[in-house]
Amino acid sequence: MRTVLAREMGGCSVLGRIWGVWRRRPGVRAVPKAPGFGTEAGHRLRPRGSSKRSRPLGGQPFPGLLQLENLSREELVDVLRAAVVDQKGPLVTLNKPPGLPVTGKPGELTLFSVLPELSQSLGLGDQELQVVQASGKETSGLVLLSSCPQTASRLQKFFIYSRRAQRPTATYCAVTDGIPATSEGKIQAALKLEHVDGVDLVIPVKSPSRKDFQEGVKRTLSHFHVVAMGSGCALVQLQPLTVFPSQLQVHMVLQLCPVLGDHTYSARVGTVLGQRFLLPAESTKPQRQVPDEALLRHLCLTPSQAAQLPLHLHLHCLHLPGMRPGEAPMKLLAPLPSYFSRTLQCLGLHQQ
């Protein structure tokens, strides 16, 4: 399954003209909502093979995950080159594995740190790639790069303009431990970033004051849509309309349905006599997610293997403006990681 770039990029000047026309046109319509699983995008997400439960995994429960600490710069460039799913004009699209940070401290191995070598490896010469849009460190999925600074700048303005207009451009897929109370809706929360015990953590703020907003509290908003339910879990499409670190993970915790493999915020959801409730975010330290025995059986995992569960949050789809006036928006798609597809199969999360 390939990521699809619906229209070929024609270079910086073409996109510049389109951006100007798109922004000026008063009658332009919102980018269509990401399609459901009955459409082309949906069929791409469905796991292949038999619907029977997978057998228990061996010593390596999630083969193919990136072991960043064991990679050299050259090996990481090879991994990223193999992860390229589309290259048209100045745009390069990657399907990023989880665990790879986009940026970091000087000397750390990150996507940003190897962009010069990746540019050379892809035959771009002196046209060095820069990041336009990317998923977070533990999130898998689309990374949009551009070798043209003007194209990158205009696309970044497009994303900013879309957020201001509350027009979603990104669709994530998540598997949640628990099923949201409603099949779809909006999640709104004021969030702040705090440095706790050497770690940056996102904390919800109830009834924030004007002073809170002056000190860094942000209003955040996401759309969610439950696509499938099974084995006490759900497959959920998430569309963030604001940008904040770990926004989608924290939003799902507020729904009492943490993302599977969330070893940072899932501890904030407690359970007593089968009833879930929120624990105080300020005093609840991060810890490994502990699925219950029934979920472990469905996933065919031991407790020690479950402690290594990768975050089941994948940036699956990005919408970009069309290349010429009147053309339909472009749609970039990234296939699910193999461990994600296996989880869907184990939980019976198929198209309803």
Distance separating alpha carbons of residues 102 and 111, to the nearest angstrom: 5
Tell me the average pLDDT across 235-253.
Answer: 97
Provide the 8-state DSSP code for 109.
-
Question: What pLDDT does 59 receive?
Answer: 52
Per-residue pLDDT at 37 exceeds 70? no
Q: What percent of the chain has pLDDT over 90?
A: 69
Least confident of 4-13, 100-109, 301-310: 4-13
Per-residue pLDDT at 79 exceeds 70? yes
Tell me the average pLDDT across 120-138.
Answer: 92
Least confident of 118-122, 195-199, 256-260, 269-273: 195-199
Q: Do 217 and 190 form a contact (C-beta atoms < 8 A)?
A: yes
Least confident of 59-73, 166-180, 276-290: 59-73
Per-residue pLDDT at 49 exceeds 80? no
Per-residue pLDDT at 251 exceeds 90? yes
What is the per-residue DSSP string for 236-282? EEEEESS--TTHHHHHHHHTT-PBTT-TTTGGGEEEETTEEEEPPTT
Q: What's this model's pTM, rounded to 2 decimal places?
A: 0.83
pLDDT band with cut points at 50, 70 and 90 for residue 126: confident
Per-residue pLDDT at 171 exceeds 90? yes
Tell me the average pLDDT across 66-72.
Answer: 84
Question: What pLDDT does 69 receive?
Answer: 81
pLDDT band with cut points at 50, 70 and 90 for residue 196: confident
Tell me the average pLDDT across 53-80.
Answer: 75
CA 21 to centroid of chain Cα atoms: 30
Per-residue pLDDT at 89 exceeds 90? no
What mean pLDDT value characterizes the chain?
Answer: 84
What is the per-residue DSSP string for 183-214? SEEEEEEEEEEEEETTEEEEEEESS--HHHHH
Q: Which domains does the chain have, with CATH numbers?
A: 66-165 (3.30.2350.10), 169-351 (3.30.2350.10)
Tell me the average pLDDT across 57-77.
Answer: 78
Question: What pLDDT does 26 receive?
Answer: 38
Per-residue pLDDT at 57 exceeds 60? no
Question: What pLDDT does 330 receive?
Answer: 87
Question: What pLDDT does 249 receive?
Answer: 98
Strands 170-177 and 184-196: unpaired
pLDDT band with cut points at 50, 70 and 90 for residue 219: very high
Q: Do 142 and 332 form a contact (C-beta atoms < 8 A)?
A: yes
Q: Which two tokens stand for residue 183?
A: 């099949």
Q: Do 323 and 329 form a contact (C-beta atoms < 8 A)?
A: no
Question: What pLDDT does 40 receive?
Answer: 37
Q: What percent of the chain has pLDDT over 70?
A: 80
Least confident of 62-76, 84-98, 303-317: 62-76
